[in-house]
Amino acid sequence: MSDTPVVPPSTVVLVSGGSRGLGLAIVTDLLAAGTKVAAFARTVTPELAQLAAEHPDRVHVGAVDVTDLPAVQAFVREVEQRLGPVDGLVNNAAVGQDSMHTHTSTADLARIVETNLTAPLQLTRLVVRRMLGQGRRGRIVNVTSICAQRGFPGLVAYSATKGGMDAATRSLARELGGRLLVNAVAPGFFASEMSAVLGSTQLDQIVRRTPTGHLTEPAEVVPVVRMLLREQTNINGQVIVVDGAASV
């Protein structure tokens, strides 16, 4: 028998990019499941502010840019003071892309990599250091994308960052030796501000290629995120694809 006790369900979860889209759906769902939630984005939307007003003792929100490390550090400290030690992290914040690689400016390349890869690695490092330093166990869920596994034109740098996070998920799960469960959820395309750039022809094409006959809905992704944060499973270092078998 292993001498490593199970990792308990997360009780204080930090969600990056929790202001809209999938992130907001994750925040809402975790609150309904009884956890305390901290969420940030560059702009706090009225929807997120309303959740904070409705649950003042269970929600902490802030306007923070995930690429601004000192601001992220300060936010994590605030969260711990208000809600208690963070034992769950959802790396959800990301920026999209819709440009051919040859015609994406080097500044845009750098911004995509910084936001979608460097920043979540730094946030993860920060949160894991606090968890390990305080002898706590916890869980991490990285929201990646089907683009990490299948090719899509116009999404070269974005795909590279998501593939990077999938790879980091596996190595981190190994490195943390079972003290933290680290997994990724890779949704197929769903309607959001990020995917709004896709033309209707492309969306129709994705739907046609999807055996379940519809685009993935955020509501179909959140139960998987919740399970990874809250249920007792032995799932660790995995990437769970939620795309109606579009990519199979």
Partner 1 sequence: MDELSRAQIRDLMAQVLANQGKALPDDDGTDLREIGFRSLDFSELALRVEDETGEELNFDAPGLRRIATVGDVLDFLVTLQRQ
Ligand X SMILES: NC(=O)c1ccc[n+]([C@@H]2O[C@H](COP(=O)([O-])OP(=O)(O)OC[C@H]3O[C@@H](n4cnc5c(N)ncnc54)[C@H](OP(=O)(O)O)[C@@H]3O)[C@@H](O)[C@H]2O)c1
Residue 103 interacting entry, from partner 1, ligand X, none, C-beta within 5 to 8 Å by type: partner 1
d(CA 60, CA 248): 39
| Whether 5 is catalytic | no
State which residue, 92 or 116, has the beta carbon closest to partner 1.
Answer: 116
Per rule CB under 8 A, is residue 2 in the interface with partner 1?
Answer: no
Q: Which is nearer to ligand X, 136 or 217 (by Cβ)?
A: 217
Q: Is residue 192 within the footprint of partner 1 (CB under 8 A)?
A: no
State yes or no: residue 23 binds ligand X (CB under 6 A): yes
| Out of 5, 102, 177, 193, the residue judged to bind partner 1 by CB under 8 A | 102
Note whether 229 and 9 are within 8 A (CB).
yes
Instruction: Report what 17 binds from ligand X, partner 1, none; CB cut-off 5-8 Å by kind.
Output: ligand X
Which 40-99 residues touch ligand X, going by CB under 6 A?
A: 41-43, 65-67, 92-95
Q: Does 154 bind partner 1 (CB under 8 A)?
A: yes
**DSSP code of 94?**
-
Instruction: Give dist(CA 131, CA 230) in Å, integer.
Output: 17
Is residue 187 a contact point for partner 1 (CB under 8 A)?
no
Q: Is 21 in the site for ligand X (CB under 6 A)?
A: yes
Q: Which does 234 bind (CB under 5 to 8 A by kind): partner 1, ligand X, none?
A: none
H or E element that contains 222: helix 218-230
For residue 242, the cross-strand partners are 187
The greatest distance separating any two alpha carbons of the chain, rounded to the nearest whole angstrom, comes to 55
> What mask of x and - would describe binding to ligand X in positions 106 to 135, judged by CB under 6 A?
---------x--------------------
Q: How far apart are CA 216 and CA 189, in angstroms?
A: 6
CB 146 within 8 A of CB 186: yes
Task: State which of residues 151, 193, 201, 234 lies at the interface with ligand X (CB under 6 A).
Answer: 193
Could you say which of partner 1, ligand X, none residue 210 binds, taking C-beta under 5 to 8 angstroms by partner kind? none
- Spell out where 34-156 has E strands: 36-41, 59-63, 88-91, 138-143
Considering only CA atoms, which of 130, 144, 128 is closest in space to residue 176? Answer: 128
Report what 194 binds from partner 1, ligand X, none; CB cut-off 5-8 Å by kind. Answer: ligand X
User: In which order are the strands placed within the sheet that holds 59-63?
Assistant: 59-63, 36-41, 12-16, 88-91, 138-143, 180-187, 239-242
Q: How many Cβ atoms sit within 10 Å of the Cβ of residue 70? A: 7
Q: Which among 158, 187, 230, 239 is annotated as catalytic?
A: 158
* Interacting residue with partner 1 among 32, 110, 197, 245 (CB under 8 A): 197
The residues that are catalytic are 158
The site for partner 1 (CB under 8 A) is made up of 98-100, 102-105, 108, 153-154, 197, 199
